[in-house]
Structure formats: structure tokens, C-alpha cells
Amino acid sequence: MNTYRIAVISGDGIGPEIVTQAWKVLEAAQKKFGFVLERTDVLLGGASIDAHGEPLTKEALETARSCDAVLMGSIGGDAATSPWYKLPAHLRPEAGLLAIRKGLGLFANLRPAWLYEELREACPLRGDIRCAGFDMLIMRELTGGLYFGERYTRIENGLRTAVDTLVYNENEIRRIAVKAFEVARKRRGEVVSVDKANVLDSSRLWRAVVEEVSADFPDIRLSHMLVDNCAMQLVRDPSRFDVILTENMFGDILSDEASMITGSIGMLPSASLNETRFGLYEPSHGSAPDIAGQDIANPLATILSAAMMLRYSLDQDKAAEAVEHAVRQVLRDGYRTEDIWSDGTEKVGTARMGDLVAERV
């Protein structure tokens, strides 16, 4: 029987509530599919500041590193009222999130976006586009590019001048491309690599390296698309996409666009992977401190993040499919948390939603 160690970061705000429900579902999955999950709790963000005076301790990072995967809730609080945001920037909750991503070498960000038939009316796109549905995954390079290049602001020729540097080397591109092709093998076998190769040298290198990697994956269909065209196609015909592979800034923008057309960010999971099978799994939404402790938060994004953990880090594909099917079945049965409720459906709380999904695994 396979045993896996999981670092669990409950986090702040609604984090503890939604993680509790995700773990409940994981317990149902391990019982059904015959593996064991050993849980180790780790503090990060505001919870760590309160306990240790810093958002991520060295001990917490080492504990996470020693595990097979990390399951996380949400980090941070209300920037206007929380005392955490009166601290220097390097001691605020989000600094801990950046530190753990760097410390664990998490360079590949996976953001799936799909449209559930039961939630199609929440999608802002035209009716015929909604009816076609979509199921895509955006693979975003997370540790390079414009966000991490050299930057400065200074006076040049009497004018304030700001410079941000976009840098990628071929190894950074190759490793994210390999991840994209590997993930495509677990999906429909198609990769669209998105760049700006008609303008940028970094994109021309990106395209060349992705082509080289493609030669090692003859079973995967590769095409290229300029980022401005991709942004247009996401709202014109999102059903055409399977895996979108792109660099850091383009991925940041496109993944937010993709999340909007699903109709509810409360349904969207995410994963960040390193060069091994190790990953950190978290919902795409924030900590929502205004509704914390009220049993109204939607746990489905965290539950679906747990399903991604089963698939990508633990290689438990059947368990992952069972969790995803259970979520779909709960929606078909008409149950909704407050954020996705509509007339004719039954409103349930956070804990009840977790119970309903676990029962259907």
C-alpha cells in the first residue's frame, strides 16, 4: 500500500474551513482506492506571523520539502485592517508565499479552467459559446521573465526612466515545456505555445526551444499562437484549447482571463510544480476574511486542487477522477454554496458541501 506524506497549510481567512473539507474528501479517496495519506500541518502567512513573528520559518520550509506534496488553503487578510499589513513588506503574509515557492523550486504553475454544464449561465460569454463548453489548462512559467529580471528607476537625460528586463534562458524554457507536454499526455494531447515571437527575442528563443522539446513528444500536437491572438480566441472560441503553454507575464494575464469566463473563481484550483513530481496545490481565490468562520465559503476549488495533487504528485489518477466526478455529481444534484447559488438549487454551507462530495467519491 502506497503511503504519501502531505504538508497541509490551512492558512488564513477561510483557509482552515476549506482545507478541512478537502482533507475530508481525500480521506474518502484513500479509503476507496487503497493508499495512505499522512498529514503534517505547517504554518504559513498570517498564522505563522502570529505564532513565530515571520510568514515562513526555515523549519516550516524544511518540513514542506520533506513531504510528497503540499495542500494549501488561502494566505493573507484584509490589507486595510489587518495588523499584518503594518509590517515591512518582507514580513507580510504574501512574502511567505513567495518564499515557499522559491524555496521549493516551484516553476510551473497549472491553472485549469473548465465550464460546468450546471454553471453555464454564470459564464459571461455568448450563449452559443457557452453551449460548446471548454476544458483547458494554462501552464505558466512561474520564476522567470519580466517579473524576475533586473529593474530600476532613475533619472536619464533629466527624465524619470523605468526599466524592467525580460530574461529567459533555454533551460528555463525547456523545463516548463517538458512539464506542459507531460501534462498534455494526461489530457487530450494538444499544446498551444503562446508567445510574441513577431516582436521579442525572448519569444523567438521560447518558440525554438519548445519546438526542440516537441520532437521528444511525437504523440502530442503542438501549435503556436501570438499572445494577442490567444487573448482574443479565449473569448471567441475557448473550446479550441487543451494545454496553453506560456511565459510568466503572459500566463498571469491569460489565466485571469480564463478564470473570468468560467463564471466563478470559487471553482478554480491550481498547482505549482518543481522539476520532480512535487507540487503545491491551492485554490485560485483569496482568503476572503470577510466571510471567514461563517460556513459559507465555497470549498470546491480546494477540493479540486486536492484532485490535482492526486493526479500530478501522487500518480493516483483514478482517485483524482473520482473526486472530480464527485464534484460534478454534487452540482448535477442541485447543491450550491452561496457564491454559485441560483433559483431552483439548494443552498448548502461549507461543511455540508464537503460532506456531499466525500459521499460521492
Q: Active-site residue among 135, 164, 196, 295?
A: 196
Nearest in space to 93 (alpha carbons), one of 10, 9, 11: 11
DSSP string over 164-233: E-----HHHHHHHHHHHHHHHHTTTSEEEEEE-TTT-HHHHHHHHHHHHHHTT-TTSEEEEEEHHHHHHH
Taking only Cα atoms into account, the Rg of the chain, rounded to an integer number of angstroms, comes to 20
* Percent of residues in the chain assigned helix, strand, coil, to nearest 5: 50, 20, 30
Residue 256 among the catalytic residues: yes
Q: Active-site residue among 102, 135, 147, 339?
A: 147
User: Residue 5 phi/psi, 5° resolution?
Assistant: -95, 125
Q: Active-site residue among 41, 256, 315, 333?
A: 256
**Buried-exposed string 15-53: b where 16+ CB fall within 10 A, e elsewhere:** bbbbbbbbbbbbebbbeebebebeeeebbbbbbbbeeee
Residue 58 among the catalytic residues: no
Residue 186 among the catalytic residues: no
Q: Active-site residue among 228, 237, 315, 333?
A: 228
Q: How many CB atoms lie within 10 A of CB 94?
A: 16
Q: Active-site residue among 12, 68, 252, 312?
A: 252
Taking the C-alpha atoms of 89, 94, 99 and 101 in order, what is their torsion angle to the nearest 10 degrees? -150
- Kind of pairing, strands 159-164 and 279-283? unpaired
Residue 116 among the catalytic residues: no
- Helix, strand, or coil here: 13? coil
Cell 484513500, residue located:
30
Residue 295 among the catalytic residues: no
User: Residue 284 phi/psi, 5° resolution?
Assistant: -75, -20
Q: What is the C-alpha separation between 84 and 307, in angstroms, rounded?
A: 32
Asked if 283 and 289 count as a contact pair (C-beta separation under 8 A), the reply is no
Asked if 220 and 184 count as a contact pair (C-beta separation under 8 A), the reply is yes
DSSP string over 27-42: HHHHHHHT-EEEEEE-
| Enzyme catalytic residues | 147, 196, 228, 252, 256
